[in-house]
Amino acid sequence: MKILVCIKQVPDSAQIRVHPVTNTIMRQGVPTIINPYDLFSLEEALRLRDKFGGEVTVLTMGPPMAAESLRKALAIGTDRAVLLTDRFFAGSDTLATTYALAQAIRKIEQTFGKQDIVFTGKQTIDGDTAQVGPGIAKRLGLLQLTYVSKLVECDPDKGEVVVERRAEGGVQVLKTAMPCLITMIEGSNEVRRGAFNDALRAARAEIVTWSAKDAEIQDLSKCGLKGSPTIVKKVFAPQPRSEKAAFVEPGKTAGDSAEALIVSIFARHPALEADMTKLASGL
Amino acid sequence: MSPTPPPATRASAKKELPEHFRDYKHVWVFVELERGDVHPVSWELLGEGRKLADKLGVELGAVVLGGPGDATKEAAAEAFCYGADVAYLVEHPVLADYRNESYAKAMTQLVNAHKPEILLLGATTLGRDLAGSVATTLLTGLTADCTELAVDADGSLAATRPTFGGSLLCTIYTLNYRPQMATMRPRVMPMPERVADRVGRVVTFTPDLNEDEIITKLLRFIPDRDSNKSNLAFADVVVAGGMGLQSAENFQLVKNLASVLGAEFGCSRPVVQKGWVTSDRQIGQTGKTIRPKLYIAAGISGAIQHRVGVEGADCIVAINTDKNAPIFDFAHIGIATDAIRLLPALTEAFRARLSPHQRDRLAG
Ligand SMILES: Cc1cc2nc3c(=O)[nH]c(=O)nc-3n(C[C@H](O)[C@H](O)[C@H](O)COP(=O)(O)OP(=O)(O)OC[C@H]3O[C@@H](n4cnc5c(N)ncnc54)[C@H](O)[C@@H]3O)c2cc1C
Ligand SMILES: Nc1ncnc2c1ncn2[C@@H]1O[C@H](COP(=O)(O)O)[C@@H](O)[C@H]1O
C-alpha cells in the first residue's frame, strides 16, 4: 500500500505567551513540534504499512525549517518525506493551503506512484480549523472519513475500508472505497517511539524539497495571500474581566470554610438555592 | 482644495464584490438533524442568525436536510419557532443518514440554486465535516469554530474565533466571495427563546442525488450508551477538578460533591492525560464548552484553554491554594484553600443545606 500523511509543524501553543502590554504573541524561543493530532494519523499509516507492506510518505507545506518535523517523522519509521516550501505560499488560508497540498499530492503520485490513502490530522493546534483534510479530499476527489476512532478493516485487494467514525450521538460504522482521506481522532492509537535504525536513517535521509515550480503548481494566484478568500482583520487578546473574584476567607476548620462559601454563593445568586435543592433531590 | 482622503486602514483591503456575487442574499443556518434529533447548536445559531438577518434587513433561512418523513418536517417547523423566516426543506432517501458525499452534494446544489450571503453551521463533527467540503467546492472562505459573529457597518460578516490555542482572538472576513461561511461552537451562544406559534414559509428543494452514485455506505450506528448520563455540556451545575487534586483517588472527592448536588463532573486536560477521567469529561478549548448556572473548579489553575470553555457560566467558584492563580481573574467567587480538605466538608455542608428536610423547613 502507498500511504501519504500530511503533517504540520506548529508552535507548542502550551508555551505561547501574550505580551501583557502590547497584546502580541511572544514567539521567541517557543519550540516547534509536529502537530500532536497528526501523530495519530501517522501511527495508523505506519501500522497499515507494517501489515500490508508498501510505503508511507509524509508531506508538509511550510518554511524550510519545517524539515525538522519531517525528520522527526522519518525517525519514527516513515519511508519518505516531502517538503513543499516557497514564499508564494506565505499567508495561505485553508482554501489556498488545500490547493497547494492537493497539487503537491498529484505531483507525488506522478513521481512515486498512486496513493491508496491520504491521512491528515483531525485539526491543527495553531490553525485549529479541521478543514484542510476535507479540502484536500474535495480537490482530489477522495472519499472523506473524518474523526475516525478505529480502522476496523482494510482490504487493499478489494480497495475497501471499514471505519468507526465519531458522530455527535454515537459512532457511525462506514464502509467506503480507496482512495480515501482519513483523519484520526486523539487516543485512537498509541504513537510509537522510533527504532534506533530509523533514527540513524532519518539523520542522513534526503528530504525531497519542492518549490511551487518543482511541484508544477502553475496557478500562483490560487496560492498564499492572493489565493485566500479570508482576511484576518484583527488579532487581539481576550478582554480580561474587570473585577477579580470575591474572596471568601477560609475559616478555622474546613467545615467553617464550606459554610462560608455556600453562604457567599447563595447571597450572590439567591435563585440558585431553590434550583439546586430540586436538582439535589433528583426532581 | 480637495478634501483629504481618509487614512488608509486595513479595511481598505475591501475590493468591490464581483458582479456574480451581488445577488447573494439572506442568512442561512444549517439545521443539524441526525437520527431524528436536532443538535441544539442549530437553535443557538438561529438565535444568532436572527440578529444578523435583522441588522442586514434580510431573511433568516433554515436549511433542513434529511430522509423523507416526519422528523425532517418537524425540524423545519421547529426552526420557525426559533426565528427562521423560511425553511429550505430538502427531503431525499439518500439523506436519511449523514454521509459527507450526499450531504455535501445536496448542500452545494441548494446554495447554488438559492444563493445565501451567509451560511452558518455548528462546529460539531458533522458540521465541520460538511462545511469544509462545501466551502472547498464553492471556493469560498470558511471561518471555523467561531465564538462571536457580527455584521459590520458595510454589511460584511465579522467572525471571531480563538487562535494560538486560545491565547488570542482574531476576527476574520470573507470579503470578495460568497457565501461567507462560518462554523460556531456549541454552547457559546445562549439558547434563544422558543416562540411556539411562530410560522414561516417552506421552500422545498429536490436535490439531484442517486444512491448508486454514493460510494460510502453506513453499515451501523452505535449510539453512545451513556450519552444520557454524560450530559456535561447541558448541565445546570458542574463540579470539576484539576491537577491540584494530585491523584485519581482524590479526584473521587469531585465526583462525590457532584453526586450530592445532582451535578455533572468534569476536569481539566491534564487530568484526562493522566488517565484519571475519560476524555468526554474534559472542559475547555479541546473539550466541552459548558454554560451551567454554577461551576465549581477545584485545583484548576485557569489556563486560557480551560477558561474559554467555562466563561459562559453564570457563577464560577474557584478553590485553589494559590491566591494568584489565573482562575481567580475570571471566577466570581474564590477561596484560597486546600481543595482536598475543603471538598469533603463542602459535600457535607451542601448535603445538609439542600436536603428535603431543610427544604420543608424553608417552605414552612
Ligand atoms: C492546544 C491546547 C489545548 C488545550 N486544551 C485544554 C482544554 O480543553 N482544557 C483544559 O483544561 N486544558 C487545556 N489545555 C491545557 C492547559 O493549557 C493547561 O495546561 C491545563 O488547563 C492545566 O490544568 P490544571 O489547571 O488542572 O493543572 P495545573 O496548571 O497544574 O494547575 C493546578 C492548580 O491546582 C492548584 N493546587 C495545587 N494543589 C492544590 C490543592 N491541594 N488544593 C487546591 N488547589 C491546588 C495549583 O495552585 C494550580 O493552580 C490545552 C493546552 C493546549 C496547548
Ligand atoms: N501546511 C500544512 N502542511 C501539511 N499539512 C497540513 C498543513 N496545514 C494543515 N495540514 C493538515 O491538515 C490537518 C488539519 O489542519 P487545520 O485545517 O489547520 O486544522 C492537519 O492536522 C494536517 O494534517
Secondary structure (H, E, C), B190-224? CCCCCCCCCCCEEEECCCCCCHHHCCCEEEEEEEC
Question: Any CB–CB contact under 8 A between B128 and chain A?
Answer: yes
Burial of B9-45, coded b for 16+ CB within 10 Å and e otherwise, reads eeeeeeeebeeeeeebbbbbbbbbbbbeebbebbbbb
Are residues A228 and B141, on separate chains, in Cβ contact within 8 Å? yes
| Nearest ligand for residue A254 CA | 1
Residue A158 Cα to ligand 1 midpoint, Å, equals: 47
- The answer, yes or no, to whether any atom of ligand 1 lies below 6 A from the CB of B339, is yes
Lowest-confidence range among A6-10, A82-86, A150-154, A232-236?
A232-236
3-state secondary structure of B288: strand
Distance from the A28 Cα atom to the nearest Cα atom in chain B, whole angstroms: 14
Find, among A27, A90, A239, A39, the residue nearest to B162 by Cα: A239
CB B338 within 8 A of CB A269: no
Q: Which helix (H) or strand (E) holds B266?
A: strand B264-267
Question: Cα(A279)–Cα(A281) distance, rounded to whole angstroms?
Answer: 5
Supply the pLDDT for residue B4.
42
Specify the residue with its C-alpha closest to ligand 2, atom 1.
A61
Find, among B250, B248, B249, B283, the residue nearest to B265 by Cα: B283
Mean pLDDT for all residues in chain A: 92
Triad A101, A103, A106: Cα angle to 5°: 110
Phi first, then psi: what are they for B180, rounded to 5°?
-85, 120
3-state secondary structure of A231: strand
Give strand ranges (E) for chain A: 2-6, 9-11, 17-18, 25-26, 32-34, 55-61, 80-84, 117-121, 143-155, 160-166, 170-177, 180-184, 208-210, 230-236, 246-247
* pLDDT tens by residue, A185-210: 987 888 899 889 999 999 999 999 99
Q: How far is CA B43 from CA A31, B79, B164, in A?
A: 41, 7, 28
Distance from the A220 Cα atom to the nearest Cα atom in chain B, whole angstroms: 15
CB A191 within 8 A of CB A39: yes
Say which residue, B68 or A130, is predicted with more confidence. B68
Q: Which amino acid is at A61?
A: M
Q: How far is CA A142 from CA A51, A105, A108, A260, B126, in A?
A: 23, 12, 15, 61, 18
Supply the pLDDT for residue B162.
85
Supply the pLDDT for residue B300.
98
Question: Any CB–CB contact under 8 A between B331 and chain A?
Answer: yes
Residue of B108, B128, B160 to mutate, interface with A, max A Cβ within 10 Å: B128
Residue of B24, B119, B129 to mutate, interface with A, max A Cβ within 10 Å: B129
Chain A CB contacts of B344 under 8 Å are 254
Say which residue, A184 or B358, is predicted with more confidence. A184
Residue B184 Cα to ligand 2 midpoint, Å, equals: 20
Q: How far is CA B102 from CA A166, A171, B32, B204, B222, in A?
A: 18, 18, 14, 17, 21
- The answer, yes or no, to whether any atom of ligand 1 lies below 6 A from the CB of B162, is no
3-state secondary structure of A219: coil
Question: What is the grid cell recorded at A20?
Answer: 501583557
Q: Which amino acid is at A212?
A: A
Residue A209 Cα to ligand 2 midpoint, Å, equals: 18
Lowest-confidence range among A53-57, A125-129, A144-148, B275-279?
A125-129
Chain B CB contacts of A135 under 8 Å are 132-133, 135-136
Supply the pLDDT for residue B312.
85
Distance from the A177 Cα atom to the nearest Cα atom in chain B, whole angstroms: 7
Chain CA centroid to CA B233, Å: 10
Which residue of chain B has the CA closest to A95? B136
Relative to the CA of A36, which ligand 1 atom is closest?
Answer: 1
Question: Cα(A236)–Cα(B309) distance, rounded to whole angstroms?
Answer: 18
Q: Which helix (H) or strand (E) holds B253?
A: helix B248-261
* pLDDT tens by residue, A139-175: 999 999 999 999 999 999 999 999 999 998 889 999 9
- Long-range CB pairs of A47-53 (<8 Å, 24+ gap) are A47/A189, A48/A1, A48/A3, A48/A117, A48/A151, A48/A154, A49/A1, A49/A3, A49/A79, A51/A154, A52/A1, A52/A154, A52/A156, A53/A1
Of A16, A98, A269, the CB nearest to B164: A16
Question: Any CB–CB contact under 8 A between B352 and chain A?
Answer: no
Supply the pLDDT for residue B3.
44
Distance from the A24 Cα atom to the nearest Cα atom in chain B, whole angstroms: 9
Burial of A255-267, coded b for 16+ CB within 10 Å and e otherwise, reads eebbbbbbebbee
Region A214-230: mean pLDDT is 93
Are residues A172 and B132, on separate chains, in Cβ contact within 8 Å? no
- The answer, yes or no, to whether any atom of ligand 2 lies below 6 A from the CB of A62, is yes
- The answer, yes or no, to whether any atom of ligand 1 lies below 6 A from the CB of B284, is yes
Chain B CB contacts of A17 under 8 Å are 167
Contacts with B201 (C-beta within 8 Å, 6 or more apart), sequence order: B85, B86, B87
Residue of B335, B346, B357 to mutate, interface with A, max A Cβ within 10 Å: B335
Supply the pLDDT for residue B163.
81
Region A255-268: mean pLDDT is 96
Relative to the CA of A92, which ligand 2 atom is closest?
Answer: 1
Of B135, B164, B350, the CB nearest to A262: B350
**pTM for the predicted model, two decimal places:** 0.85
- The answer, yes or no, to whether any atom of ligand 1 lies below 6 A from the CB of B307, is no
Chain B CB contacts of A233 under 8 Å are 10-11, 158, 171-173
Question: Cα(B250)–Cα(B254) distance, rounded to whole angstroms?
Answer: 8
Supply the pLDDT for residue B359.
52
CB A130 within 8 A of CB A146: yes
Question: What is the grid cell recorded at B350?
Answer: 451542601
Distance from the B165 Cα atom to the nearest Cα atom in chain A, whole angstroms: 6
Region A60-71: mean pLDDT is 96
Question: Cα(A95)–Cα(A227) distance, rounded to whole angstroms?
Answer: 7
Supply the pLDDT for residue B14.
59
Is the torsion defined by CA of B17, B22, B24, B25 positive or negative? Answer: positive
Q: What percent of chain A has pLDDT over 90?
A: 75
Name residues 50-89 of chain B within 8 A of A (Cβ). Answer: none
Question: Cα(B316)–Cα(A269) distance, rounded to whole angstroms?
Answer: 11
Which residue of chain A has the CA closest to B326? A244
CB B60 within 8 A of CB B83: yes
Cβ of A24: how many Cβ atoms within 10 Å? 12
Q: Which amino acid is at B324?
A: N
Are residues A138 and B260, on separate chains, in Cβ contact within 8 Å? no
Strands B37-38, B33-34: parallel, antiparallel or unpaired by DSSP? antiparallel
Which residue of chain B has the CA closest to A129? B144
Question: What is the grid cell recorded at A71?
Answer: 525528520
Supply the pLDDT for residue B362.
52
Distance from the B142 Cα atom to the nearest Cα atom in chain A, whole angstroms: 7
Are residues B293 and A247, on separate chains, in Cβ contact within 8 Å? no
Phi first, then psi: what are they for A23, rounded to 5°?
60, 25
* Residues in chain B where the model's pLDDT stays below 70: 1-15, 165, 225-230, 357-364
Question: Any CB–CB contact under 8 A between B231 and chain A?
Answer: no
Triad A100, A101, A105: Cα angle to 5°: 120
Chain A CB contacts of B227 under 8 Å are 169-170
3-state secondary structure of B226: coil
Question: Cα(B215)–Cα(B218) distance, rounded to whole angstroms?
Answer: 10
Are residues B172 and A174, on separate chains, in Cβ contact within 8 Å? no
